[in-house]
Amino acid sequence: MSTNEANWYVLHTYSGYEKAVKASIEKMVENRKMEDQIFAVKIPMETVTEVSDNETKTVERKLFPGYVLIKMIMTDESWYLVRSVRGVSGFVGSGSKPTPLSPQEVDQLEVEHREIVLGYEVGDSVKIVDGPLMSFIGTVDEIDLSHGKVVVVVSMFGRETPVELDLEQVEPITV
């Protein structure tokens, strides 16, 4: 089984048990040699600067107290392992069926770091390959990797018009 078949799921835990649940799952996966079914366990955290008594300090805080994310291939064996961990009250989903996170939700939670390699840069000519302006040619004006956007300047009705698109909506023009 490969990591391509795996999905991210959300576990509901008793509040304050997130770290213990993460450690228990990782230990059980290692002991039962299930690394081919359960790939990662994460607690979404954020770095926050707190100011109190004229003192500033940077602390890590849980984004979703009471929840842990797990990347796994859902089988009876993996489901049972996770459900049997002390502190886990269940998977998030409708009824008894766990619902995997969508790729957009995974991106928003930033639980997986994906390197984005573009075949173009600012100043390059590109062709729009999707959307209402499909087949228009333009020049890359701006690239925003953090939001997955690119601004392309296209000529419409004799005017230069900047258009914001998703990175996947344009491709470099190869000569």
For the stretch 106-138, pLDDT in tens is 877 766 655 667 888 899 999 999 989 999 999
Residue 146 neighbours by CB distance under 10 Å: 7
Q: How does pLDDT run across 85-102, given as a tens digit for each residue?
A: 999 998 988 777 788 988
**Rounded CA separation 69/40 (Å):** 8
Phi, psi of 124 (to 5 degrees): -80, 150
CATH number at residue 41: 3.30.70.940
Q: Which domain, by its residues, includes 149?
A: 125-172
Pair (54, 83) in one structural domain:
yes
Residues β-bridged to residue 8: 71
Query: What is the number of residues in the chain?
Result: 175
* Domain final residue pick, 59, 76, 109: 109
Q: Are 98 and 74 in contact (CB under 8 A)?
A: yes
Number of domains the chain is built from: 2
CA 79 to chain centre: 22
DSSP tally for the chain: helices H, then strands E: 3, 11
User: Measured between alpha carbons, how far is 147 from 169 in angstroms, rounded to an integer?
Assistant: 14
pLDDT truncated to tens, each residue of the chain (175 aa)?
555 689 999 999 998 999 999 999 999 999 999 999 999 999 988 877 777 777 778 888 888 899 999 999 999 999 999 999 999 998 988 777 788 988 888 877 766 655 667 888 899 999 999 989 999 999 999 998 877 889 999 998 899 999 999 888 999 987 6
Q: Could you tell me if residue 115 is inside a domain?
A: no
Whether 134 and 90 share a structural domain: no
CATH code at position 143: 2.30.30.30
Judge whether 138 and 151 are in contact, CB under 8 Å: no
